[in-house]
Amino acid sequence: MVGDLPSGQTASWPKGAANWQKYLDIRAKSLDFRLKAVQSRADWRLVSSELIPTDRMPGPNHEERARRADALRRHRASPRARTMASSNRLAYLRTQLRVVARLSARVAGTQDVDEMVQLVVDELHESFAFYLASIHRHDDDGVLRLVAGAGPLAEVMTEFLLVEQPVDSGVNGRVARSGATALVNDTRLDPDYAERDPNTDPRSELAVPIVADDRVWGVINLEAVECDAFDDADAALVEAIAAGLGVALHRSSLVGELERAFMDVLGVLTSTVEAKDSPTAAHGDEVAVLAEKVALRMGLSPEQARDVRHAAMLHDVGKVAMPSEILLKPGPLTREEWEVMRQHVVVGGELLERVEAFAHLAPYVRASHERWDGEGYPDGLSGEGIPLAARIVAACDTYDAIVTERPYRPAATKDTAISELRRVAGRQLDDRVVIALLAELV
């Protein structure tokens, strides 16, 4: 869609998400919506047509020209494109509002940056049939790198072009440097646009900065085949989306910092246990890595698998309260010593309950020595009554204990450990967990 700005001119828009709805309503009443964008089903991580300056990019060969021409034909013939082209301005506005609402909810529901950016380009492309929708990250080395893309040029551009662009060139580079939106009505008239093939190059471009933590994190880039394909309302829509994405990216970075701090604390706690129980040093880390892999194999989400990993790291934290003469005893424990030793999971659970960041892991740690048949400790839980995370930790802990040398016995072989796991599956251990563990080990 095209607005009132001369070609190549940048635009600035009202700040704050609260202004976007009002702004869109005002623009919808005053602008003539002329939707000319179209879509195909292609959906790939791709390269924008302006990734490298023209003077450094070799011209397209015959094969590339043919592929670009075919993409353009498919693009113009897309049924979705024709539907969008025939939409009136009220229907288009409703679509815009639905997109903002959907993206706000979907982006807020993930902490994964790759997932966030792909959600944005997918939604823009699928809802508006843009010829090209892409996001480029502004890295510290002064390069814009493609991180997500969708549109009918995807396959062609992936095959023939690069995925990096110096920030000092191109329309995207201009936006990254200035932090201002660029609405280009005719790319042939914009001095920063890097021409690739005059017969198939997009003729309109809308590039919007993504600001996170007061710096330009990257650029949302939309391109259309026709001139005058974008207007002020499109710019306002994409700026609103970019603002929400910027907030989500900042939140993700904060969560990442908290996660690193969390892992540092876990490291201190497990190191404390290892210092006291030196024969099992690094035991918690090895069990944790294996437990996370098993959790993912069983279909748990990445977030749930991380909880399993953290629980595995901490499952022996209660040993800090156990007497050293029991922990380091070179022979089998007596009945009385076992009764004391079994309290380490109770102590571990109680320790974690007192720390808000770890409290949700307390039930997993407490139940990490329960048995599928109900003969475990400390609470005699059985079957599905044992948290799945604890069942996974128990199986991985059992395997690691068998293949780890102890003061009173040598380490067993991997084959011996696998045979033992099969023997106790369905009695001591959840057989479904054992199946997943064996698949990870073999």
Give the pLDDT of residue 90.
Answer: 62
Spatial separation of the C-alpha atoms in residues 153 and 157, rounded to whole Å: 6
pLDDT tens for 138-187 read 999 999 998 888 887 766 766 656 578 899 989 999 999 999 999 999 99
C-alpha dist (Å) from residue 45 to 142, 152, 155, 162:
21, 11, 8, 12
Three-state DSSP at 207 gives: strand
42-46, 255-259, 324-328, 331-335: range with highest mean pLDDT: 331-335
- Is the pLDDT at 13 greater than 50? The verdict is no
Length reported for the chain: 442
Q: Domain spanning 10-252 has what CATH number?
A: 3.30.450.40
- Is the pLDDT at 31 greater than 50? The verdict is no
Q: Which residues pair with 205 in a beta bridge?
A: 184, 223
- Laid out side by side, the sheet with 132-138 consists of 10-11, 181-184, 204-212, 215-224, 132-138, 143-150, 164-166
C-alpha dist (Å) from residue 204 to 67, 223, 351:
20, 6, 60
Q: Any idea which fold 277-441 has?
A: Hypothetical protein af1432 (1.10.3210)
Cβ atoms of residues 160 and 154 within 8 Å:
no
Give the pLDDT of residue 390.
Answer: 97
Nearest alpha-carbon partner for 65 in 193, 188, 194, 197: 197
Give the pLDDT of residue 268.
Answer: 64
Q: Give me the residue spans of the domains in the chain.
A: 10-252, 277-441
If you average pLDDT over every residue of the chain, what do you get? Answer: 78
Residue 18, both tokens:
């609260």
Stronger pLDDT, 60 or 392, i.e. the higher one? 392
Q: For the whole model, what pTM was predicted?
A: 0.52
Give the pLDDT of residue 332.
Answer: 83
Give the pLDDT of residue 278.
Answer: 53
Stronger pLDDT, 352 or 83, i.e. the higher one? 352
For residue 376, report the phi and psi dihedrals to the nearest 5 degrees.
-90, -165
Residue 170, both tokens:
């191109």
Spatial separation of the C-alpha atoms in residues 194 and 57, rounded to whole Å: 9
- Is the pLDDT at 438 greater than 60? The verdict is yes
Task: Indicate the pLDDT class of residue 357, thresholds 50, 70 and 90.
Answer: confident
pLDDT tens for 211-248 read 998 899 999 999 988 898 888 888 888 998 898 898 88
pLDDT > 70: percent of the chain: 72
Task: Indicate the pLDDT class of residue 17, thresholds 50, 70 and 90.
Answer: very low
Average pLDDT, integer, range 183-194: 92
Give the pLDDT of residue 99.
Answer: 74
- Asked which of 172-181, 268-277, 358-367, 403-412 is least confident by mean pLDDT, the reply is 268-277
Cβ atoms of residues 351 and 304 within 8 Å:
no
Instruction: Establish whether domains 10-252 and 277-441 are of one fold.
Output: no
